[in-house]
Structure 1
């Protein structure tokens, strides 16, 4: 099939490359000239394992190409995907300006019947609004062309997006046009050909839009719930790993997304939970659970700083106790195998430590550049404070002469460190584990004092 993918961000670029890789002809559009130039030269705007090789190979084969204007490609395709960003607005609602701008472009330039697919994460009712915008543009032009609206939300996990796309848990397709659903089912057939009836879910346009938000809100809720239980475990001397296994073995609950941590981040959960809460409020409904999820997550991002401040004999934000202290920080991205630091717990902790006069040596396999960009452009830190943050080239370099080591992202290279080497590098064998991934008994035998989410202090 011939496809236009409008937007070359995380969702658009991954989808475009994966569709091209199974034989479709894909035209990927983005308004940023520098990004298009980089993509044509095989330079990725994001880090995602396997993506660069996929883009380079399909560009070489001619199944994938990059363009600046949607007008250049819309008349060449059968299906147009809208895959632009929907960032959180000031009021918490999703900002749909980019989605609506693409809708106007489609209506202004289409010259044949089309299937218009919304792959961006959008509130309920957006597809109906996109339909109206396209129809209005066609009326303005005096054209009478048919088109169908489909909602096809993405469920890609950063770090595993290529495999998720090729072997999805489910594909959600929402539309009131059975013919459009048939075409979309055929497009996705190579990914689910062994059991398409079980893995392709067909529903109404609005149901599909809501499914995406509901899924992310449920996952965020599970994370916040287990983190709340972890706080109680610390207070009563229980082990959150035992509790997690105990409840996760119940088939009605399961173990997924029941791992304690320093709080969720990324581009999806924070903005999607907030956008869904805003939708509740628009309909005069109380989103009590969603509010609690957000509040719990905000508190969880204070875990590391609170433990550090109390260990050194102070209270949170007491500069007299932490000023001049030096900390090693492992992991900046919100999760492993991505360079995405949006809403990451690391950003909260770095700002807190620098504000009270501490210094930080940070190491992350992929997140340093994005962290630096965020702190330079979006934080309230001044130049003096930012000067106390140093990005280093290795995990062990970060640990040199540090008062403590802090782990916030469970990258694979952090799973089994050389504890004897760390003990020699650190001023004091002290570890704050925001992922609860090590054995307290083992660390105690190695002579480390160990704090972890949901565990009694070793």
Structure 2
């Protein structure tokens, strides 16, 4: 089949590349001409494991990029809306880019004689597809949904850094289609994958995405709450959660205590569903607690640091890990950001290192010191904060010997001081 993908961020570029891998033709649409040129040259506009290899293989063959909506719609059967939905000041999602994409698609569909399907893949709160996207498509195309064109909501369940793998090995595919014809066309795109496709209403599909992410975020905050209690009692929370995770009803995933969750999905999605609930007159106390715990959690790193060192003014503190998680350069909602902010507020001298995310963090904190390696960052430091689960940080050992004071506050359970050849002062955030 022929698909067009509106937006070339994490979801859009990965979806286009993976549809090409499944044998379909994909047209990427973006207003950013730099991204268009990169994709046509076989270069990935963002870093994702395996993405560049797919673009190199299929660019100019099964994948092309353009800024022309008319071209994309005329040459495709299905259009996916994969644009961003950032949060506004109140935490609600900003649908302006989705609105713009729907209007542009509607105008392009007005010039097309054949049946076309529009699929919302962007994460949007329930009712967005039916109450915003469909009316805009109908208004700007002059056509009727369910008669002249189809509409579906098809949420993504992709982990940043592993998105290509997750697309090709899904545990669920949900298509919230307005009719059977639309469901069949969207389902056919996934025929090559070993996964059942579930047909729901668009609003149900939208809610599945939010329920999925808010549950995972809740597990993280739950584990951190238990971890904070365990810390005060001298209990190893990892030993506790290892056994709790053996319960088949719970599973061991997302039970690791630490500095909290970040990224482009969990914080934004929990806040968005909170906003939707309040719009409906419901107070989501549990979900508010999930966010509150997550906001406070990383600051525990600084409290532990002060307990060990006293006043931080003038002290050289190394922060290892700037990305919100390993295997990505994404710093959105990174737990390192509030930690660095607090260190700077207390007038500490901050030195930082991350294998991939340094350039992005320089835009947030241009005046701290960035290093090219963990060893360089640790040189003469008064303390080290471990913030991201990079495997290379797990292998650190003799590098700590170059610190002025080998004090390590571990926010991700990366180290066991008994395994090191050098003696360090070690403190875990929740253990």
The answer to whether the superposition gives a TM-score over 0.5 is yes
- The within-5 A match list for 1:382-421 is 386=367, 389-417=368-396, 419-421=397-399
Match of 1:225 in 2: 222
Find the partner of 2:177 among 171, 175, 178: 175
2:120 corresponds to which of 118, 121, 135: 118
Structure 2 vs 1, CA of residues 432 and 143 (structure 1 numbering), >3 Å: closer, same or farther? closer
Please name the residue that 1:327 is paired with: 317
d(CA) in 2 for partners of 1:202 and 1:97? 27
Q: Runs (4+) of structure 1 moved beyond 4 Å?
A: 141-145
Report if aligned partners of 2:220, 2:261 keep a CA contact under 8 Å in 1.
yes
Are 2:70 and 1:67 aligned? no
Residue 142 of structure 1 deviates from its aligned partner by 11
The superposition leaves residues 84-110 of structure 1 with CA deviations (integer Å, 9 ceiling, x where unpaired) of 000001222111111111111111111
Per-residue CA deviation, residues 164-216 of structure 1 (Å, 9 max, x unaligned), is 01111111111131121112222101112xxx4xx322211110000001111
Note the aligned Cα RMSD (angstroms).
Answer: 1.7
What are the Cα deviations for residues 40-71 of structure 1, in whole angstroms up to 9, with x where unaligned? 334433211111111121104x1001101212
Q: Contact conserved, 1:9 with 1:84, CA < 8 A, in 2?
A: yes
CA contact (8 A) 2:134 2:145 kept: no
Q: Report whether the alignment pairs 1:274 with 2:274.
A: no
Report the equivalent of 2:162. 160
Task: Judge conservation of contact 2:145–2:151 (CA < 8 Å) in 1.
Answer: no
Partner of 1:136: 139
Is 1:184 the counterpart of 2:186? The answer is yes
Instruction: Report deviation, 1:343.
Output: 0.6
Q: Is the 8 A contact 1:40 1:66 kept in 2?
A: yes
CA distance in 2, matches of 1:10, 1:241: 32
Q: Is the 8 A contact 1:119 1:154 kept in 2?
A: yes
Tell me the residue number matched to 2:412: 435
Alpha-carbon contact 1:124-1:209 (below 8 Å) kept: yes
Q: Secondary structure at the match of 1:361?
A: strand
Q: Equivalences for 1:26-425 in 2 at 5 Å?
A: 26-60=26-60, 62-110=61-109, 111=112, 112-128=114-130, 129-139=132-142, 146-192=148-194, 196=195, 199-313=196-310, 321-376=311-366, 386=367, 389-417=368-396, 419-423=397-401, 425=402
Separation in structure 1 between the aligned mates of residue 263 and residue 55 of structure 2, nearest angstrom: 23
Taking the aligned partners of 1:102 and 1:17, their CA distance within structure 2 comes to: 20
After superposition, give the CA deviation of every residue in 1:250-279 in whole Å (9 maximum; x if it has no partner). 111110100111111000011100000011
User: For the residues of structure 1 that align with 2:50 and 2:360, how far apart are their CA atoms?
Assistant: 20
Q: TM-score, normalised by structure 1?
A: 0.90
Contact 1:432 1:452 in 2 (8 A): yes
The C-alpha deviation readout for 1:232-261, integer Å capped at 9, x for no partner, is 011011001111112111111110100111
CA contact (8 A) 1:138 1:145 kept: no
Q: Secondary structure at the match of 2:364?
A: helix
Residue 449 to residue 148, structure 1, CA distance change in 2 (3 Å): same
| Partner Cα separation in structure 1 for residue 65 and residue 319 of structure 2 | 38
Q: Equivalent residue of 1:153, what SS?
A: coil
Q: Is the 8 A contact 2:39 2:59 kept in 1?
A: no
Map of 1:454 onto structure 2: 430
Partners of 1:48 and 1:158 within 8 A in 2: yes
Q: Distance in 2 between matches of 1:72 and 1:251?
A: 50
SS in 1 for 2:242: helix
Instruction: Out of 120-129 and 349-358, give the one that drifted further.
Output: 349-358
Question: Which one has the bigger helix percentage?
Answer: 1
Secondary structure, aligned partner of 1:26: strand
Q: Distance in 1 between matches of 2:208 and 2:123?
A: 10
Query: CA–CA distance in 2 between the matches of 1:227 and 1:159?
Result: 23
Task: Report the CA distance between 1:440 and its aligned residue.
Answer: 4.4
Separation of aligned partners in 2, 1:255 and 1:67: 43
Shift of residue 346 of structure 1? Answer: 0.8
Displacement, 1:374? 2.8
Structure-2-length-normalised TM-score: 0.96
Q: Extract unaligned runs of 5+ from structure 1.
A: 314-320, 377-385
- Listed one character per residue, the Cα deviations across residues 102-154 of structure 1 (whole Å, up to 9, x for unaligned) are 11111111112111100000011111121111111223x89997111111000
- By how many angstroms is 1:453 displaced? 2.3
Q: Which residue of 2 aligns with 1:13?
A: 13
Q: How many residues align?
A: 427
1:355 CA displacement: 2.3
